[in-house]
Amino acid sequence: MSAAAARTPFPANWTARLLWSALALYVLYACGILDVSWDRFVRGLDNGGKFLGRMFPPDFSHQKLELLRVGMVESIQIAVLSTAAGIVLSLPLGLLAARNLMPGWVSWMARGTIALCRSFHPVITAILFVKAVGFGALAGVLALVVASMGFISKLFAEAIEEMSLKQVEAVRATGAGFFNVLVMGVFPQVIARFIGFCVYQLDSNLRNSTMVGIVGGGGIGATLFTAYQRFDYDFVLTILLAIIALIMVAEIVSAQLRKAFQ
């Protein structure tokens, strides 16, 4: 064998092979304990058919529509309030977390706060707040404020860290104070992205606000959960249709907002 042929261009990576085999074995094992069988699948189809059958036609009675309206309005209020409060709190938090503007210890503390906000799913935070302030919209708002702070301030801090320091340096060289550097050197560079994050968060808070109700955080989620438990599947369908319509409208509005602030 010649020397050239002896050199393998892609030497076998035994660590990778071992890890892949371990993953494959685990997937097989996990499938084994899922207990999926043909029998169960057929029964499931049957149940699903019954469920869908009871959903039609959706319930548009006057009384139900009133329930729907109250729930939806509360959900929208939860979303708007929590996004607004989240934005106001994210601005300073994101600034404090930006490593290129703040001394190390400040940004690490802010980053810790952000990590704490992000560590739980909004539903878990909502349960905590329901325990703390009782059932209702306030718990939902607080839970989503925490989620909004986590999301917006993290991305805002990253946007600040990616901006051009040359422009900031020039503003600093004029003798501008810290807030003037922020206003004229930092914000013009990051404000469009910040607004983008806020609009996106409003969008996802509308979705989340329908969900926090399930654990007692108020809004349409509570109405939906009650309807499920009372087997009012026709009303469930009405609510689902309303939520889909809401999300679609939110999508259009947020696209327009983003375009306006480009």
Partner 1 sequence: MSASLVIRGLRKEYRPGVPVLRDVSLEVGGTGMTAIIGPSGTGKSTLIRCINRLVDPTAGEILFGGQDLARLKGRALREARRRIGMVFQEYNLVERLSVIENLLCGRLGYVPAWRAWLRRFPPQDVARAFDLLDAVGLGEFATRRADALSGGQRQRVGIARAIMQDPELVLADEPTSSLDPKTSVEIMELLARLARERGIPVIVNIHNVELARRFAERIVGMSQGSIVFDGPPGELQENHLLAIYGGQGWLDA
Q: Give residues in contact with partner 1 (CB under 8 A).
A: 164, 166-167, 169-177, 179-185, 188-189, 191-192
Closest CB 88 distance from partner 1, rounded Å = 15
Closest CB 90 distance from partner 1, rounded Å = 18
Closest CB 176 distance from partner 1, rounded Å = 3
Q: Tell me the angle at which helices 220-229 and 187-212 cross, rounded to the nearest 10 degrees.
A: 20
Helix (H) or strand (E) holding 202: helix 187-212
Question: Is residue 155 within 8 Å of residue 197, measured between CB atoms?
Answer: yes
Closest CB 241 distance from partner 1, rounded Å = 42
Residue among 27 and 183 whose Cβ is closer to partner 1: 183
Separation of alpha carbons 200 and 221, rounded Å: 21
Residue among 47 and 180 whose Cβ is closer to partner 1: 180
Token reading at 84: 């607004």
Separation of alpha carbons 213 and 137, rounded Å: 8
Residue among 176 and 257 whose Cβ is closer to partner 1: 176
Q: Prior bond to 57 cis, omega within 30?
A: yes
Residue among 96 and 236 whose Cβ is closer to partner 1: 96
Question: Is residue 139 within 8 Å of residue 212, measured between CB atoms?
Answer: yes
Token reading at 229: 């438990």
Closest CB 194 distance from partner 1, rounded Å = 12
Residue among 119 and 164 whose Cβ is closer to partner 1: 164
DSSP 8-state code for residue 123: H
